[in-house]
Amino acid sequence: MSSTFLVKGVSVLGAEPTDLLIRDGVVAEVGGDARGAQVVDAAGLVALPGLVDLHTHLREPGREDAETVESGSRAAALGGYTAVCAMANTSPVADTAGVVEQVWRLGREAGLVDVQPIGAVTVGLAGQHLAELGAMATSAAKVRIFSDDGHCVSDARLMRRALEYVKAFDGVIAQHAEEPRLTEGAQMHEGEVSARLGLTGWPAVAEEAIIARDALLAGHVGARLHVCHVSTAGSVDVIRQAKAAGVRVTAEVTPHHLLLTDERATSYDPVFKVNPPLRTKTDVAALRSALAEGLIDIVATDHAPHAVEDKECEWAYARPGMIGLETALSIVLDVLGPDWELIAERMSRTPARIAGLTEHGRTPAPGEPATFTLFDPAARWEVDPTGSASRSRNTPYAGMTLPGRIVATFLRGEPTVLDGKAVK
């Protein structure tokens, strides 16, 4: 049934060019029988383990006009991803076994990436009562990551109980760190630019205070904490201290926080409105070096599709968020340079480990699952929002020329992308 592929002349993570024979879902022994194989010319291409996104908004159920599990999966595969973790802020919220199983099943039906649902921490993301974490963990979706993303679990007692609960099955709480009392009415980063524009600011300390509190709680409980979309230099300092103290904390940064600053708000173009907001040059520099060093463990997209009417309006009324699955690897290449080991670590192996996705994050070699992506580092492309596989158009990179392009993606031996195009 399954097809055979011969990937010719590929450089696995920058090593000397070699051939990869793909059969029965795995990479076959070198020199194996390649008769009847479909040849993929991979001269000049780099093979990376399939990327894993720990933070994706797929919008189904509820906002299928903005994205579906299928359209988001297609955007992910085109971006080199083989697995995505779907955030719980859908409608209805993914706070029961029923909803997480629905999302998981839709992911299987689309068959383009592995869709691993994230469960909500609190019922309806309302921050009042713990959701049925155990039922979601033991469901067919086997949820291990829980998050109220979009909202902060701001009640310290609830956060403590959530950490205690997931510790029993080595789960993790992924926190959207935002002290709500410090961000009431916030429109952008609080600083020089917000003062100039007269927009209400979202101060860095609103993020840093929650990360510090949660690190102390996680250390006290002995449970795992993951910090979503870290955006400030001060957060990096807090995470450094927590890690030095032995707290089980991991952290992510988005491509947009690695590249863009709050100066973009001067355009008043709501495509640059996002949570947490774009910060300053100093923050961007601190995030880049923390990522290189490993203090920030991974890159996650926070792909946040929004319908036109929610984005193309006045800044104050626009929803926060940007799409990012198809551009993430190009932005990271631009920011980190062509260090393939580092990119594999931050975009595939470590996110796979945090999410417990053992079939992912493995370098293509004989005996390993054929779950990888082929990337052309020499290509350049112009971002065209209308060319996106996402149902939404809110990319902050429209018109920019980016380095590097995904040529093919394989999931367990089957191509999801070939010649830069989704196969279904």
Q: Which does 320 bind (CB under 5 to 8 A by kind): ligand NCD, Zn ion, none?
A: ligand NCD
Exactly one of 214, 262, 302, 310 is catalytic; which is it? 302
- Residue 254 CB, nearest distance to Zn ion (Å)? 9
Q: Which does 361 bind (CB under 5 to 8 A by kind): ligand NCD, Zn ion, none?
A: none
From residue 126 to residue 165, the character string flagging contacts with ligand NCD as x (rule: CB under 6 A) and all else as - is -----------------------xx---------------
In this complex, which beta carbon is closest to ligand NCD, that of residue 144 or of residue 151? 151
Question: Is 220 one of the annotated binding-site residues?
Answer: no
Question: Is 33 one of the annotated binding-site residues?
Answer: no
Strand partners, 406: 375
- Residue 218 CB, nearest distance to ligand NCD (Å)? 20
CB 20 within 8 A of CB 364: yes
- Our finding on whether 67 is near ligand NCD (CB under 6 A) is no
Angstrom distance (rounded) from CA 81 to CA 79: 6
Our answer to whether residue 302 is catalytic in this structure is yes
Q: Interface with Zn ion by CB under 5 A: which residues?
A: 149, 176, 302
In this complex, which beta carbon is closest to Zn ion, that of residue 118 or of residue 336? 118
Dig out the tokens for 311 from the structure: 């984005």
Angstrom distance (rounded) from CA 55 to CA 329: 15
- Residue 56 CB, nearest distance to ligand NCD (Å)? 10
CB 290 within 8 A of CB 297: no
Neighbouring C-beta atoms of residue 175, cutoff 10 Å: 29
Angstrom distance (rounded) from CA 184 to CA 421: 43
CB 37 within 8 A of CB 71: no
Q: Exactly one of 6, 11, 56, 57 binds ligand NCD (CB under 6 A); which one? A: 57
**Alpha helices for 7-126 (secondary structure H):** 69-78, 97-110
Question: Is 226 one of the annotated binding-site residues?
Answer: no
Q: Exactly one of 49, 321, 361, 369 binds ligand NCD (CB under 6 A); which one? A: 321
- Residue 277 CB, nearest distance to ligand NCD (Å)? 9
**Residue 22 in 3-state DSSP?**
strand
Angstrom distance (rounded) from CA 287 to CA 253: 7
Site for ligand NCD in 247-306 (CB under 6 A): 274-275, 302, 304
Q: Which residues contact 4 (CB under 8 A, 6 or more apart)?
A: 21, 22, 23, 34, 36, 37, 38
Tokens 């149902």 locate to 391
Question: Is 225 one of the annotated binding-site residues?
Answer: no
In this complex, which beta carbon is closest to ligand NCD, that of residue 55 or of residue 346? 55
Dig out the tokens for 175 from the structure: 């926190």
**Residue 317 in 3-state DSSP?**
helix
Longest dimension (CA), the chain: 68
- Residue 174 CB, nearest distance to ligand NCD (Å)? 10
The angle subtended at Cα 134 by Cα 131 and Cα 139, nearest 5°, is 105
In this complex, which beta carbon is closest to ligand NCD, that of residue 344 or of residue 354? 354
CB 191 within 8 A of CB 280: yes
Binding-site residues from annotation for substrate: 57-59, 89, 275, 306, 320-321
Annotated binding site: 55, 57-59, 89, 149, 176, 229, 275, 302, 306, 320-321
Annotated binding site for Zn(2+): 55, 57, 149, 176, 229, 302
Residues that bind ligand NCD (CB under 6 A): 57, 89, 149-150, 176, 274-275, 302, 304, 319-321
- Residues forming the active site: 302
